[in-house]
Chains A and B, each alone.
Chain A
Amino acid sequence: MRSKVESALPYGLLAPTLLVVVLLIVVPIFQAFLLAFQGSDGGFTLAQFQKMVHDTAFLDALKFTFLLLIFIVPLQIILALAMALLIHKRFRGHSIFLYIYAIPLAISDLAAGIAWLSIFTERGYLNSILHSLGIIDKPFLFLSYQNLPAVFGTIVIAESWRATAIVMVILLAGLEVIPRDYFEAADVFGATALKRTLFVVLPLLRPSLQNALIIRTIFAFQTFSVVLALAGRVIPVLTGEAYYWYAANRNPNVAAAYAVLVMVFTIFITIMYFRLLKTTDAEAGYD
């Protein structure tokens, strides 16, 4: 039997957090929404969105944001799954490898961008390696605007490197929950490693996959330091444009319009994940 105090307790415990989040995140989001719909006279307008849509970089930013998502997320899932399955075998020394794989978790995108630029730039490390192996005699221009697929590739590689760790950790945690019997049962029935992964592990990992996807998508929409370092603005992305409109063009209104768009897309894709993966709330831990 619960008293009234008891039933009010969870709300009381959550109140301070809610207060901070509302004051420092929800209110500013609301203010940013206002900015996005406000004209120079302070009245309601869609002019900011029109300006955004007619911007030279807008369509490219839209295209590349989604292309990056499409290329990076599956690659990360595969890489992270490989890491997680390896660690899950708990071989001798697995904890050292877990540590190594998790390092990028704590590396900022700013630092990652600097590191990858030193590799891919014209006289950088990758070209130095290729040169000393005799594969090339002149530096290959990975970051040439005339070779967008190459630039795009470098971004995919750098971003996959940076953000695979978080996916790996989430998936590994998901694997830990799956009873070991399942793996052993699959072994008994003579399933190959690939089949076991596809038909036993992946379905059981669905809730973790969903979480990993959501978290990755949120982050993927918001990072642009790596893109800016490697591609400049030849490959624009939505959040990068938002920042650019704010910092360089001095136009917080259009910047806010971009930010609103990013938020809408993120919510939309998250809903899509929920639908596609059909995880019940209980499985996902939202009960």
Chain B
Amino acid sequence: MKTRRLSMALLAFAMIASLVLSACQAPAPTPAPAAAAKAAEPTNAPQPTVAPASASSSQSLIFLASQLGPVEEQEKMRNVILKDFTGAEVDFIADANENVILDRILAESKTGKVNGSVVGALHGAFPNLIAANALEDLTPLLEKLKDRPIVKEFLTLGKMGTDKQYYIPWMQATYIMVVNKKALQYLPQGANVDALTYQQLGEWGKNIATATGEKKLGFPAGPTGLMHRLTQGYLYPSYTGGLVTTYRSDDAVKMWTDFKAIWQYANPQSTTYNNMQDPLLSGDVWVALDHTARVVNAFKNQPDDFIAVPAPAGPKGRYYMSVIAGLGIMKGAPNKAGAEALIDYLTQPAQQAATVREVNFYPILDSGLPTDLPPYVKTESDGVLKQARSADAHVALLPVGLGKKGGDFNKIMQDTFTRIVLKDEDIKKVLDDQATQLNALLTELKTPCWSPDPVSTGACQAK
């Protein structure tokens, strides 16, 4: 009996030991962990002050990105997009939770132990980083890149309302509508799928429900879904022409009334959807509105089943949200020359093309989309282009200047949605409640209005 127990214990430890061995050997052949280990210690070598091209390739560089968190995208970034970069050995660090990266940047900046050199983040995240004095002014770098055809508006955005250039535009994304071809036969009379209105979307959903007995519209209203972005950048501006200033206007009441009607035909499991590609692929949903990166697998895995079309329009036009990501350099970056070279590299047409091809973020260059796109990217980018080129198209931006309170702002949006749509509370009353909270938040932050609300001098307020 005793010997058996002992042999059990031995077996247990042998088991663990073998696990350790196999696990630790496996990653060795790939160069990445070695790079990570090297990157963990900041390099103290003197920085070359000359042109970025002369940066020694032996130096490592940490690139902290709050975007491209999904594993597949991280892989593409490392193995394809960054592959040809010779300016430094890049260790690309991203996380599906954008806050993880932003916290790390802030923490490094605060403690003075700066490991990261290049920072990639969304436009809306920059005010926070600037407030923490974590970023360099990139005006000198921009001077070197002045011949690159970067979209002017994006460069202006990169100044964050100052005279310094805090980021160089990196890539952009948007939200589009994805349609299963099976749904097309149920389009309402006279509706053009490339120029739908929200009202027609509701009728469409109704037609599908009548014919199939299933509610097949879909929205990403899960715990980490981006429903609040659809409220901010699509529904509100399309119906009211603004967001904050018109938060409790009559137009807003009309919008929520219409949206509730649409929602009747939305799959009730929408409250669990964090991305729309899975329900689209499984057939739970036929028509969905979501971020381009969160639907791309639908086009990739079943390229013949789906098309991409512009988001619907409301009475004030076809507003869509453009999500712009920028590249910044950390103050005290251990490899500043390498960082500049990397930003140069990533904004070149070849890498911009690779970015849309591999990870579905669209170029920030005026020169348009590359032609050699794989079919699934082509399908999606068709929708993106159609959306941008619609006659009634207008751009809305992510909230700007909310800093740490961006979460509070989104929460107000989400709560409004939850109370009106899911809990069926009185629209007017909810809007009044939430507008009061919105005003209190923006007064506290003294945040001026951002597009599409008209420019304000003081804090942006709901009327």
Residues from chain B with a CB closer than 8 A to the CB of A230 are: 272
Give CA–CA (A2, B452) in the complex, Å.
Answer: 81
Give CA–CA (A139, B214) in the complex, Å.
Answer: 9
Task: List CB contacts (< 8 Å) of B88-130 with chain A.
Answer: 97, 99
Give CA–CA (A123, B267) in the complex, Å.
Answer: 13
B272 contacts A247, C-beta separation under 8 Å: no
Residues from chain B with a CB closer than 8 A to the CB of A247 are: 97, 99
B223 contacts A244, C-beta separation under 8 Å: yes
Residues from chain A with a CB closer than 8 A to the CB of B213 are: 138
Nearest residue, chain A, Cβ from B409 = A249
**Taking each of B99, B221, B271, B272, which has the highest tally of chain A beta carbons within 10 Å of its own beta carbon?**
B272
A123 contacts B282, C-beta separation under 8 Å: yes
Task: List CB contacts (< 8 Å) of A101-128 with chain B.
Answer: 121-123
A143 contacts B269, C-beta separation under 8 Å: yes
Our pick among B268, B283, B411 for the contact of A123 (Cβ within 8 Å) is B283
Residues from chain B with a CB closer than 8 A to the CB of A250 are: 99, 404-408
Task: List CB contacts (< 8 Å) of A183-228 with chain B.
Answer: 228
Stretch of A71-79, A157-165, A170-178, A231-239 on the interface side: A231-239
B407 contacts A251, C-beta separation under 8 Å: yes
Q: Mark A139-175 against chain B: 1 for CB-CB distance below 8 A, else 0.
A: 1010111110000000000000000000000000000
The reply to whether the CB of B422 lies closer than 8 angstroms to some CB of chain A is yes
Give CA–CA (A249, B409) in the complex, Å.
Answer: 9
The reply to whether the CB of A56 lies closer than 8 angstroms to some CB of chain B is yes
Residues from chain B with a CB closer than 8 A to the CB of A122 are: 267, 269, 279, 282, 284
The reply to whether the CB of A248 lies closer than 8 angstroms to some CB of chain B is yes
Give CA–CA (A183, B340) in the complex, Å.
Answer: 79
Nearest residue, chain A, Cβ from B422 = A145
Residues from chain A with a CB closer than 8 A to the CB of B283 are: 123
User: Interface size (B, Cβ < 8 Å)?
Assistant: 29
- Given the interface pairs A122-B284, A251-B407, the reply to whether A232 lies near B222 with Cβ below 8 Å is yes
> A-side binding surface: helix, strand, loop or mixed?
loop
Nearest residue, chain A, Cβ from B103 = A250
Residues from chain A with a CB closer than 8 A to the CB of B405 are: 250
User: Interface size (A, Cβ < 8 Å)?
Assistant: 25
Give CA–CA (A249, B407) in the complex, Å.
Answer: 4
B97 contacts A143, C-beta separation under 8 Å: no
Give CA–CA (A228, B272) in the complex, Å.
Answer: 8
Residues from chain B with a CB closer than 8 A to the CB of A146 are: 268
Residues from chain A with a CB closer than 8 A to the CB of B267 are: 122, 141
Residues from chain B with a CB closer than 8 A to the CB of A251 are: 407-408
The reply to whether the CB of B415 lies closer than 8 angstroms to some CB of chain A is yes
B271 contacts A234, C-beta separation under 8 Å: yes
Residues from chain A with a CB closer than 8 A to the CB of B221 are: 232
Give CA–CA (A57, B224) in the complex, Å.
Answer: 16
A143 contacts B272, C-beta separation under 8 Å: yes
A144 contacts B419, C-beta separation under 8 Å: no
Report A's interface with B, CB cutoff 8 A. Answer: 56-57, 121-123, 138-139, 141, 143-147, 228, 230-234, 244, 247-251
25 A-B residue pairings within 8 Å (CB atoms) = A56-B415, A56-B419, A121-B269, A121-B272, A123-B283, A123-B284, A139-B214, A141-B267, A144-B268, A144-B269, A145-B268, A145-B422, A146-B268, A147-B268, A230-B272, A231-B271, A232-B221, A233-B223, A234-B271, A244-B223, A247-B97, A247-B99, A248-B224, A249-B407, A250-B407
